[in-house]
Structure 1
Amino acid sequence: MIGAHVIVGYTGDAGGRDALALGSAITRVTGGELTVAAVYPPGSPGQAVEAQANLAHAAGELGAQPAEYIAFESRGAGRGLAVVASRIKADLIVAGSAEGGQHGRIAIGSTADHLLHLSPEAVMLAPSGYLPPEEPSRLTLAYVHRPQCDEAVERVAQAALRLGVPLRLITLDLRTEDPGRLRDDLALAVRLAWESTGIEAETEVAEGFDVAAAMANLEWPPGDLLVCASSEDAQPHRVFLGEVAMKALRAASCPVTVLPRGFS
């Protein structure tokens, strides 16, 4: 299960605080290690000092919760977080939304965009203004019938079992698919979850004329977490989010985790 070692990309803005709150909550649930990283560009002494100040502020926010703090020089924040994650063997990178986005939704800035297309580790994004609950309430996996999603069913079912929360499998019907086939695919995924963990997953087919409308037809209670598998276009052991999944991420009102291809 992801969350054994979480790295948070921290910035001194609302998105950074959202990411810190989410990463902190994840490690409290999983018992994993927490690393807070502030990335600054090369040749910028002033921003290096600012990065250290941001880390001090993050330490104050976390209080007694143990964490490691790293200031890292890189030409891009997303690239820097990916490099640090690999070096410290983190299995989850948490980032916040870009400034100016809609409250309660995920706004993708340059950092998140890089991570969603090249990260070697799972990526979790926090909606703007997100306040994590004490405990997770459910794991929801966006499912389509392909190998990456079948692998994700087993992994997410195992995570749900360890966390003691329900597992929901969702498929979006954009009025272009055969609803019967979609439900048959979900039935196979339910069987896969049951055979691998003994969990009986709930399923929903969300209808809509577009992805946002379909997502709006689903309930997202506090503590829900949406998980997406990477696209078939992803390099092995890399994150790459496809077009439909990207639209679902933008429409989600809960944190979203994207698993790299070949996640284990």
Structure 2
Amino acid sequence: MIGEHVIVGYTGEPSGREALALGAAITRVTGGELTVATIYPPGSPGLAVEAQANLAHAAEELGDAPAGYLAYESRGSGRGLAVLASRMRADLVVVGSAGGGQHGRIAIGTTADHLLHLSPEAVMVAPAQYAPPEEPGRLTLAYVHRPQCDAAVERVAQAALRLGVPLRLITFDLRTEDQSRLRDDLALAVRLAWESTGIEAEAEVAEGHDVAAAMAGVEWLPGELLVCAASEDAQPHRVFLGELAMKMLRASPCPVTVLPRGFS
């Protein structure tokens, strides 16, 4: 299950503090290891000092919560976090929304964009001004009938079982598909979750003229986490977010996790 070792991409900006709060909440629930990382560019002694100061602020934010702190030199923050995740065998990278985004929504900055198209490990993005509750409320998996999503059903069902939260499988009817076929596909996914873990998943078809409208038309619980599988275009053991999933991420009112292809 993801959350055994979480790396938070931390900055002194509000998005960094939101990512820190989310990463800490995850490891508090999973009992996993937390590493707080600040990335700075090479050849910049002043920014290296600033990175250490940011980590000191992060330690103040966390208080007594156990965590490791690391300043890492890299030409890009997304690249640096991806390298760290691989080297440290972390299974989740958490970052915040880009500055200037809409309250309660995710805006993709350069760091998140790099991770969402290259990270070797799962990536979670927090909405702007997100404050995590004490406990997770539900796991929702965005489902499309394809091998990547079928594999994700089993993994996310296992996570829901371990966390003791409901599992919802949701698919989108943008009025271009045969809804009876979509519901048949969902029924097969519900059966797969049951056969692999014994968990009884909820199933829902979100309808709308576009992804944002469909997302707005369904209920999102406090503590909800939305999970997406990587695109079929992703390289093995890499995250790559497809067009539909990117639209879902931008419209999501809750944190979104994207699994790498071949996630286990």
Counterpart of 1:210 in structure 2 is 210
1:161-184 CA-to-partner distances (Å, cap 9, x unmatched) read 000000000001000000000000
* 1:86 aligned partner: 86
5+ residue gaps, structure 2, are: none
Once residues 147 and 85 of structure 2 are traced to their aligned partners in structure 1, the CA distance between those partners, rounded to angstroms, is 26
Post-superposition shift, 1:139?
A: 0.2
| Shift, 1:212, TM fit | 0.3
Q: Report the equivalent of 1:174.
A: 174
Look up the equivalent residue of 1:57 and give its one-letter code.
Answer: H
| 2-structure distance, mates of 1:151, 1:221 | 25
Instruction: State how far apart, in whole Å, the 1-side matches of 2:62 and 2:43 are.
Output: 30
Is 2:53 the counterpart of 1:53?
yes
**Separation in 2, partners of 1:97, 1:107:** 5
* SS across alignment from 1:51: helix
CA distance in 1, matches of 2:14, 2:158: 33
CA shift, 1:40, in A, is 0.3
Say which SS state the counterpart of residue 129 (structure 2) adopts.
coil
Deviation at 1:221, TM superposition (A): 1.3
CA deviations over 1:49-108 (Å, ceiling 9, x no partner):
000000000000000001000000000000000001111110000000110000100110
Hey, what's the Cα distance between the residues in 2 that align with 1:106 and 1:67? Answer: 26
Q: Give the Cα separation in 1 of the matches to 2:193 and 2:52.
A: 44
Deviation at 1:214? 0.4
Alignment of 1:29-108 (within 5 A): 29-108=29-108
> With structure 1 as the length reference, what TM-score do the two structures score?
1.00
Q: State the partner residue of 1:231.
A: 231
Give the aligned residue type for 1:213: A
Deviation of 1:134 after TM superposition, in Å, equals: 0.3
| Residues 123-138 of structure 1 mapped to structure 2, 5 A cutoff | 123-138=123-138
Identity, % of aligned positions: 84
Q: Which runs of 4+ in 1 moved over 2 A?
A: none
Count of residues paired in the alignment: 264
Trace 1:158-169 onto structure 2 (pairs within 5 A): 158-169=158-169
Q: Determine helix, strand or coil for the equivalent of 1:118.
A: coil
CA deviation string 1:221-242 (max 9, x = no partner): 1100000000000000000000
What root-mean-square deviation, in Å, do the aligned CA atoms of Structure 1 and Structure 2 show?
A: 0.4
User: Secondary structure at 1:117's aligned position in 2?
Assistant: coil
Which residue identity does 1:184 align to in structure 2? D
Write the distance in 2 (CA, Å) between the matches of 1:22 and 1:227. 15
Paired residue type of 1:63:
G
